[in-house]
Amino acid sequence: MGRFWSLLFLMVPILGVGLFVLAIAGTELPGLSLRDHWLPENINDGGYIIDDLFNFIMYLTGAIFIATGIALFWFLWKYDAAKNPNPVKFVHGSHTFEVVWSLLPAATLLFIAIFQMDAWANHKMRRPILGPGPDGIEHTADDELKPAMVEVTGRQFEWRIRYAGADGKFDTPDDLHTVNDLHVPVDEDIVIAIKSQDVLHSFFLPNLRLKQDVVPGMKQFVWFHANRTGTFDIVCAELCGWGHYKMRGQISVESRENFDAWFQDEFKEQGRTQLEPSEDEE
Amino acid sequence: MSSTTADSHGQTIDQDHSDRLSISAFIGTYVFSRDHKIIGLQFLFSTLLWFLVGGLLALGIRLQLAWPWEGMPIIGKMLFSAEGGQISPEFYTTLFTMHATVMIFFVIIPILAGAFGNYLIPLMIGADDMAFPTLNMLSYWFMWPAFIFIGMSFFEAPYGAGGGWTSYPTLSVVPEAAPGSESAQTLWLLGVTCVGISSMMGSVNYLTTIIQMRAPGMTMFRLPLTIWSMFITAVLQAFALPVLTAAGVMQLTDRIIGTGFFVPEGLIVNNSAPATGGGQPLLWQHLFWFYSHPAVYIMILPAMGMVSDIIACFSRKPIFGYKPMVYSLCGIAGFGFIVWGHHMFVSGMNPYLGMTFMVSTMMIALPSAVKTFNWLGTIWGGKIQFTTPMLFSLSFVSMFVIGGLSGIFMAATPVDIFIHDTYFIVAHFHYVLFAGTAMAVFGAIYFWFPKMFGRMMNEWWGKVHFFFTFLFLNGTFYPMHILGAVGFPRRLADPYHYETFSHLQPMNQFMTLCAIGMVAVQVIFAANFILSIFMGRPVGRNPWGANGLEWSAPSPPGHGNFDFQPIVYRGPYDYGSPEVDADFYPQIQPPPEGAQVAEEANS
Ligand SMILES: [Cu+2]
Ligand SMILES: [Cu+2]
């Protein structure tokens, strides 16, 4: 039976890698469709690095997965008590091996850690700027940061959206309000302010590789640079109550002209409904 | 019962008297016992029953994900006749909250520390019992208020606690935020606090016992790795648990007397404004994960220790790199306290802090890697016996590699932005906790069962149980990586109305079928376990030919454990030593004349 069990453990790397390969290839087999069973399309300029890192870590860990899986199989196969006539190797360890297999992973892990810091900084620390500020040097503390064009507020169970309008300021008469319907122009740096009115939510745009929990009592900024038009999901990714699953929004990335046209239409529409007796804001 | 005790206690006692005597004797021996073995078995039976409950809750989640809103067959009609047998979205949140709560607080932590820690520590170090037997008894009986509170929380009206096992404020603190955040959340907090008290009592006891009560000759570096891992686990519990307990009390006072630690100003929840304010929701996450990250090691280190002992025994070869194994346990414990922020990369925590936590988190993968290589080194060059406990332990190694490697994806902060709170993390911790720890626990049960009951479990059925569990667990959990890569979020009652995830239902149905299979084959285990207690093949002290001290005690050991004074001559891993003819060399066996000199010169 030792043979059978060895082969069972060999199946782990074979089937494990196999499923990933089939999924990445988007395989269409009889009774099994794995189309679109992988990272969804990325449309954010800053998102490619996330996919690259994902793939890099996948190849690296994949190699270790295969190597350890095969080593486990091979030792089980070769040293099966029923087949192995040799006496056991009475060894308590090996200093050399311990040093090698401590230092190698340590170096690799440290490399990954340092290698990705730049991407992290771009996503969460380096908000797009309008100018370098008084000292004339970019990426210093006095940079003139790009203001948010739109503010998204999570509440059970919808996304309340508010545009600053032409004056670039919130709480002015030219603000535009929508619910679950976010529009942004393509090929521009977009900064969004995100907030929560009640509980934690998470503002997750899978196609823009963007996720940030929104925290009641905190105002945060997220940014991206979309490079293709289309309509994509806004997902709530942090448990926010019984209706968490249905807290779905939409982001439409449009050309600048289409965006402006949409904005004008919506603003006129808003003016009309504001004159009528207000339907309950809820 | 009364008549048998009357006989054994002699005829002079009159019937009434003996009746009272026998009842109190029974209660003293089996209910409020101070014997570490009985307490260990009490933990084992309780946790196995809760394992069943947790598994059934998981099936509820899986049914909803495979066929949303179609309702549970048969039991659905009984449970939710009002909803036509459907799982309501409110109940779905209760389901995954309770699944995690039960599995973490009532199964994994108490089965490792409570059941195996209790049963094995005195036996493996050559002590007659724990240092504080009464405290030990209390640590079990404090689980019962926890069982009752969580049970009440589940059935509380209008809905059971539904804030997730992480219970993040403000959802969990403001009663208007969710139906499960009414009284059910208070009961949940009380339950978890009782588990904390129980674990605290246990850990103090384990530390004292291991430090103070080792048999003559049992130096720290002759301890089996099981004991080392229990020791490190107890350290983690002793230092991390007070923080969780404090946080739990803070959440309780927020809820009950309106302290407002975690609730900021100016909220409007469900159209009403909470009276309190001035707090910070992220504070809870820091406090919670300061405990709960060490807790994930509390949930795996003892499994690593037991697997090390089992693998060495059935490779008939010394453990490879005993001291590196010990140091990596210590390393995990040390690093374990400075990585909690990796749960909060996208929580709104300062991103500079995220970078620091990313580096420490990357480094904590290192000791785990060292352990894995040492397990492989142990198997290399051995004479492997494919017994049931060995198969489960090998699968621990094989599966832990998957769970460990997938952790690196999430430690990488930019990647975590995308996969945080998706099924990728669900895959990761199920590979560590189910495919890792639970499989190791099965292996440990098969391994130490003959010591506990003096009888073997059936090997053939044990292997059948292993084979199908191994198959189905991979069928259930492996595809979760794929779902995670698509961004499929966790904790959604119906993810398919999102455009991005609408096509993923067939894969979820496949996983659900595997999950049903996985729960179903546990019937084999349950039958094997229960029948073997009464009908298993009787065995002597050392059926596996193992070295540990516990194998020199009678099976099952009587009160006081050893019928002789154990004296320890060597570590527990001298399998295949050229010094003796047998392929094992028990710790209590004195070295042959002449060899003794060499031994002493060596050490
Ligand atoms: Cu939500
Ligand atoms: Cu952690």
- Residue numbers of B between 240 and 299 with CB closer than 8 Å to A: 263-271, 280-282
Distance B292 CA to ligand 2 centre (A): 7
Q: How high is the pLDDT of residue B9?
A: 40
Is A101 a member of any domain? Answer: no
pLDDT for B596 equals: 54
Task: Say whether pLDDT at B2 is over 80.
Answer: no
Q: State how many domains chain A has.
A: 2
Contacts of residue B171, Cβ cutoff 8 Å, sequence gap at least 6: A199, A200, A239, A240, A241, B163, B177, B178, B181
pLDDT surpasses 70 at B599: no
pLDDT of residue B76: 61
pLDDT of residue B66: 94
C-alpha A119 to ligand 1 mean position (Å): 27
CA angle, corner B20, sides to B19 and B24, nearest 5? Answer: 120
CATH number of residue A171's parent domain: 2.60.40.420
For A192-232, what is each residue's pLDDT tens digit?
Answer: 999 999 999 999 999 999 999 999 999 999 999 999 999 99
Rounded Cα distance, B498 and B503, in Å: 9
Lowest mean pLDDT among A53-62, A69-78, B70-79, B327-336: B70-79
Q: Do the chains contact at A37 and B405, CB–CB below 8 Å? A: no
Angstrom distance (rounded) from CA A188 to CA B344: 29
Of B26-40, B117-131, B223-237, minimum mean pLDDT range = B26-40
- Report yes or no on A8 lying in a domain: yes
Ligand 1 mean position, distance from CA A199 (Å)? 9
Structure confidence at residue A207 (pLDDT): 97
Phi, psi for A134 (deg, rounded to 5): -55, -35
DSSP string computed for B47-63: HHHHHHHHHHHHHHHHH
pLDDT at B8: 39
Question: CB-based contact (8 Å) between A117 and chain B?
Answer: yes
Nearest residue in chain B measured CA to CA from A245: B492
Question: Average pLDDT, stretch B101-111?
Answer: 96
Q: How many CB atoms lie within 10 A of CB B489?
A: 27
With a pLDDT cut of 90, the percent of chain B lying above it is: 84
In a domain, A104, yes or no: no
* Tens of pLDDT, residues B440-456: 999 999 999 999 999 99
- Asked if residue A157 and residue A69 are part of one domain, the reply reads no
Instruction: Return d(Cα B70, Cα B87) in angstroms, integer.
Output: 8
Residue A282 predicted with pLDDT over 50? no
Q: CA-CA distances (angstroms) from residue B540 to B94, B285, B455?
A: 47, 51, 8
Domain that holds residue A75: 2-82
d(CA B305, CA B302): 5
Decide if A120 and B413 are in contact by the 8 Å CB cutoff.
yes
pLDDT for res B5: 38
d(CA B341, CA B356): 9
Residue B232's pLDDT band (cuts 50, 70, 90): very high
SS (H, E, C) chain A: CHHHHHHHHHHHHHHHHHHHHHHHHCCEECCEECCCCCCCCCCEHHHHHHHHHHHHHHHHHHHHHHHHHHHHHHHHHHCECCCCCCCCCCCCCCHHHHHHHHHHHHHHHHHHHHHCHHHHHHHHCCCCEEECCCCCCCCCCCCEECCCCEEEEEECCEEEEEECCCCCCCCCCCCEEEECEEEEECCCEEEEEEEECCCCEEEEEHHHCEEEEECECCCEEEEEEECCCEEEEEEECCCCCCCHHHCCEEEEEECHHHHHHHHHHHHHHHHHHHHCCCCCCC
What's the pLDDT tens digit per position in B445-484?
999 999 999 999 999 999 999 999 999 999 999 999 999 9
Instruction: Indicate the residue of B376, B394, B412 with minimum beta-carbon distance to A57.
Output: B412
Same domain for A152 and A263? yes
Q: pLDDT for B485-542, tens place per residue?
A: 999 999 999 999 999 999 999 999 999 999 999 999 999 999 999 999 999 999 999 9
Pick the ligand that lies closest to the CA of residue B93: 1
Q: Ligand 1 centre from B239 Cα, in Å?
A: 33
pLDDT band at B1; cut points 50, 70, 90: very low
Amino acid at A245: Y
Write down the residue that tokens 């009663």 correspond to: B175
Interface contact A217-B398, CB threshold 8 A: no
Residue B81, SS3 per DSSP:
coil
For B:363-422, CB contacts with A below 8 A are 363, 365-366, 369-370, 372-374, 376-377, 379-386, 391, 394-395, 397-399, 401-402, 405-406, 408-409, 411-415, 417-422
Q: What is the mean pLDDT of residues B126-152?
A: 96
- Inter-chain residue contact B281 with A87, CB threshold 8 Å: no
Q: List, as ranges, residues 157-196 from A with C-beta within 8 Å of B.
A: none
Best CA proximity match to A155, nearest among B248, B271, B193: B271
Model confidence at A140, pLDDT cuts 50, 70, 90, reads: confident
Mean model confidence pLDDT for chain B: 91
Q: Are A159 and A250 members of one domain?
A: yes
Q: Do B408 and A282 touch (CB under 8 A)?
A: no
Q: What is the pLDDT at residue A143?
A: 87
Chain B CB contacts of A102 below 8 Å: 324, 366, 370
Which among B267, B362, B395 has CB closest to A198? Answer: B267
Residue ranges of domains in chain B, CATH in brackets = 38-46+93-299 (1.20.210.10), 314-321+330-535 (1.20.210.10), 537-598 (no CATH)
Q: Are B401 and A65 inside 8 Å of each other by CB?
A: yes
Share of chain B above pLDDT 70, in %: 92
Tokens 């009272």 correspond to B20
Cα–Cα dist B124/B561, whole Å: 10
Question: What pLDDT score was predicted for residue A201?
Answer: 97
Query: Ligand 2 centroid to B363 CA: how many Å?
Result: 13
User: Looking at the predicted structure, is the pLDDT value of residue B15 above 60?
Assistant: no
Do A155 and A41 lie in one domain? The reply is: no
Decide if pLDDT at A25 tops 90.
yes
A45 lies in a domain? Answer: yes
* % of chain A exceeding 90 in pLDDT: 80
Q: What's residue B77's pLDDT? A: 59
Cα-trace Rg, chain A: 27
User: What is the average pLDDT across B334-361?
Assistant: 94
- Identify the DSSP state of B176: G
Asked whether residue A103 is assigned to any structural domain, the reply reads no
Same domain (yes/no): A155, A72: no
pLDDT of residue A68: 97
pLDDT at A81: 93
Ligand 1 center to residue A243 CA distance, Å?
A: 7
More confident residue, B258 or B146: B146
CB-defined contacts A:B, below 8 A: 332
Residue A112 lies in a domain: no
Average pLDDT over residues B159-177: 93
Q: Evaluate whether residue A230 is within a structural domain.
A: yes
pLDDT the model gives residue B303: 97
Taking residues B149-157, what's their average pLDDT?
93
Shared-domain flag, residues A153 and A78 = no
